[in-house]
Amino acid sequence: MQIAVITGGSSGIGQSAAFEVAKRGVGVILTYHGNRDGGLETAERIEKDGGTAVALPLDVGRPDTFADFATDVREVLQRWGRTSFDFLVNNAGVGQQPVRFEDTTEELFDQMLRVHLKGPYFLTQTLLPLIADGGSIVYTSSTSALANTRPEPGYSVYASMKGAQVVLTRYLAKELSVRGIRVNAVAPGVTRTRLGDDAFARYPELIPPIADRTALGRIGEPDDLGKVIAFLLSPDGAWITAQTLEASGGYDL
């Protein structure tokens, strides 16, 4: 059985990706940080639907914990009789309220750096010996990092870190190609998730203006992105590497 490690799998895009790959017969190791109940419930639902899943705690902003996490992954892999896994989805992240460049603090910069760049970078490095040859890695980036999207004032830090993920994707795809490991990124547009303190649930009036800027006339849902991630991991995406696939419904088109 193939195995996927999905960070931030307790809700939103990561949770949807976990459900989608599990439907395809892939065992899932998902992580949670601030939402333990969501992580356990995700694993339980996968098991109830006939799949196999384990939820583990992980703070992607704490690289000093990654060696211990790798040890936990090795132990969990024994459940499937494996010593390696096949897919890594670097999805965990935090949202950011808009902050003007001149008001951006070093604290905010460092938080975005740890969670969106340093964490995924060194987590991938730490887990790389456990990723099977011919495997696949996906980063969840953002349309805010893409040249075709109109910049929104207040997101210079978040977009910069997501842009760095796009660059990292290309360089890792080159370096890891010697092992047949594909590396891609998915760039969601505005998506209904728990980030931003469930902003869309609390402020539904924010949705119509965003939907008006989206060619397909709505905001994204986690399932829209979970399916794209599952595709990039699957044999159907076997000839795709070094790419950032925008999945935004035509945001700002």
Helix (H, G, I), strand (E, B) or coil at 32: strand
CA distance 32 to 11: 9
CA distance 96 to 105: 12
Q: How many C-beta neighbours within 10 Å does residue 109 have? A: 15
Query: Does residue 195 contact residue 49 with C-beta atoms inside 8 Å?
Result: no
Q: Which residues contact 80 (CB under 8 A, 6 or more apart)?
A: 1, 3, 27, 52
Query: Does residue 73 contact residue 27 with C-beta atoms inside 8 Å?
Result: no
Query: Does residue 158 contact residue 143 with C-beta atoms inside 8 Å?
Result: no
Active site residue 251: no
Query: Does residue 194 contact residue 35 with C-beta atoms inside 8 Å?
Result: yes
Among 32, 158, 171, 203, the one annotated catalytic:
158
The residues that are catalytic are 158
